[in-house]
Amino acid sequence: MFNPEKLIIRPASIRDIDFVVTTIIEAEKSSTDKIGPANYFEISEDDYRKYLHQMLEEEIDGCEISINNFVVAEYEGETVAARGGWLEGDNEEGLPSSMIKSNLFAYFLPTENLLKGKNKYDIVKGLMIEREMGTYQLEFSYTKPEFRGYHIMAMLDAYHINKAKEKGAKKIQVHVSKGNAKALKARERSGFHAVGYFTSDHPQVKEYYPDDTIVLFEREV
């Protein structure tokens, strides 16, 4: 039986990379079988895992693909849940996370796959959200199925909320696929409200991404 007193909430470390990779992929699937970036660049799930692993090993802050931005839940020595979050623009150069992420992909992905993605830009450009500087961004969450129902993600979110306060953020934002009803309700229950919708009306968008609409949620810190 689950004993909450045995649960440890801590910052992720290099030893958690495999679990964080799984967290990113499962979050990107958004309850579907589509991994948006992998489809976009036409790479297999196994290769995408490999590239994410390499990116996370770099420990580059300022975007969602940084091991330092993740918090994990550990139960009896096993990592069972993870949640990512960071303050937008909080890096040495003050760069937007989209630029840092693009640089990571440009460095690690083969040129031929980058070109394949470039040719699809018009299909997904409506889903490309520019994150607001100075806001705390929540991105990517996953809990092992056997540990769901114990409110572990709420504990990880609370950790990030406290971190947002420490960094002086005024609000927290999170993006959710419109079709992920469970995630939408979870955001509303945790005090978030929808403030924007970003849609691609291209007929092929759902061939590559889980949904054609992303909902932007936010709440005050």
pLDDT digits 0-9 by tens, 95-109? 999 999 999 999 999
φ and ψ at residue 57, rounded to 5 degrees: -65, -25
Q: Are 62 and 97 in contact (CB under 8 A)?
A: yes
Q: In angstroms, how far is the first alpha carbon of the chain from the final one? A: 34
Q: What percent of the chain has pLDDT over 70?
A: 100
- Please determine, for residue 129, whether its predicted confidence score (pLDDT) is greater than 90: no
pLDDT tens-digit map of 159-214: 999 999 999 999 999 999 999 999 999 999 999 999 999 999 999 999 999 999 99
pLDDT tens-digit map of 67-81: 999 999 999 999 999
Tell me if the pTM is above 0.85: yes
